[in-house]
Amino acid sequence: MKKDKIIVGISGGVDSSVAAMLLKEKEYEVEALFMKNWSRQIENGKCLWEDDVEDAMQVCDKLDIPLNVVDLSDDYWEKVFKNFLTEYKSGRTPNPDVLCNKEIKFKAFLEYAENLGAKKIATGHYSRKNKNENYFQLLKSIDNNKDQSYFLCCLNQSQLDKALFPIGDLCKDKVRKLAKKAGLITHDKKDSTGICFVGEQPFRNFLSSFIKPVKGLIKTTNGKPIGEHEGIFFYTLGQRQGLGIGGVKNTTNSPWYVVKKNIEKNELIVAQDHDHPLLHNKYLTTLDINWISGKTPSLPFKCKAKCRYRQSDQNCTIEKNENNRFFVSFDSTQRAITPGQFIVFYEENICLGGGIIDSVN
């Protein structure tokens, strides 16, 4: 019996390459789809995606599967990058990868794949899913170091139903070994970093091409000016590097950290204490939490959460909900909770959902 047609989102990296290979080995009807989502930035006269699509072509030739290429750059600009710029303009620090998964990889890409006759789509995310009673659960990857459920926190039941994560049960080193054994060109390719679909960029130069930076004062917590910043949106809470502060009279040689951003006055507030009280909070609010199950739990609700990707899970309580504004308290103080980032909720290895951090107190 002929198996379903599955279209794999292939990026030119090792993870999506192996995802396609594993599905082909299971005798699904597999096709690949490469998304061109960023065409504005040119590096050395070459579009940033050109090397990746060449690698994708070689992988597909090796696996003997068709490769489709679609330009979703307009969707990416309208639904992801505009929001990215708006958040930075407001002094917040966004995470475009989460929105990219919600709006591009599991929406625009999914719709395109369905038009090609696909029953489901697959990606190279390190994550898993499970059907529990009448709904799907998003689970952490077997590889805790590579788990990407954080970036998938805004998926809904319909998107999860149509999604497959073929490498979620594998560790990264195993994925590379499988790719090498199969002779895939991507087996030792460096993992992609930087902004989703934009890639690695000199961040200040890149952001300055879209938002005009306005210099302002860097002040200590007692209001003393000690330097000048290059544009307040370049900096994030807890940041140590790139402040350009040195040789301040009557201070120690200890490093300085961003502890507050005064957007109205265009001032960056810094202190020499890595654990300054202004960097530690137990409470935050978030707007419009996406609950993957489709149901809001009864509040107050105890679970675990992380406020940034690499953070370990922290005990918290979702206290109340007022007009889709959720109030969250942690059992212990958290360092550098950053508005614009996502807080993602967990129960053991189940990702419950997440929302954008709106305010901290």
Give me the residue spans of the domains in the chain: 5-194, 213-274, 278-360
Is there a contact between 272 and 251 (Cβ–Cβ < 8 Å)?
yes
**DSSP 8-state symbol, 2:** P
Chain segment 66-120, per-residue pLDDT in tens? 999 999 999 999 999 999 999 999 989 999 999 999 999 999 999 999 999 999 9
| Amino acid (one-letter) located at 319 | E
* DSSP collapsed to 3 states, 312-361: CCEEEEEEEEECCEEEEEEEEEEECCCECEEEEEEECCEEEEEEEEEEEC
Residues linked to residue 164 through DSSP beta bridges, in sequence order: 122
Residues linked to residue 261 through DSSP beta bridges, in sequence order: 268
The CATH number of 278-360 is: 2.40.30.10
Please, which pLDDT band fits residue 3 given cuts at 50, 70 and 90?
Answer: confident
Domain covering 213-274, topology: SH3 type barrels. (2.30.30)
Chain segment 172-214, per-residue pLDDT in tens? 999 999 999 999 999 998 887 656 556 556 788 888 989 999 9
What's domain 5-194's architecture?
3-Layer(aba) Sandwich (3.40)
Pick from 23, 27, 14, 7: nearest CA to 58: 14
Q: Which two tokens stand for residue 282?
A: 């137990």
Q: Which two tokens stand for residue 49?
A: 């995606």
Catalytic residue numbers read 100, 196
Residues in the chain: 361
Question: 357 CB contacts (<8 Å, ≥6 apart)?
Answer: 284, 285, 286, 307, 337, 338, 339, 340, 341, 342, 343
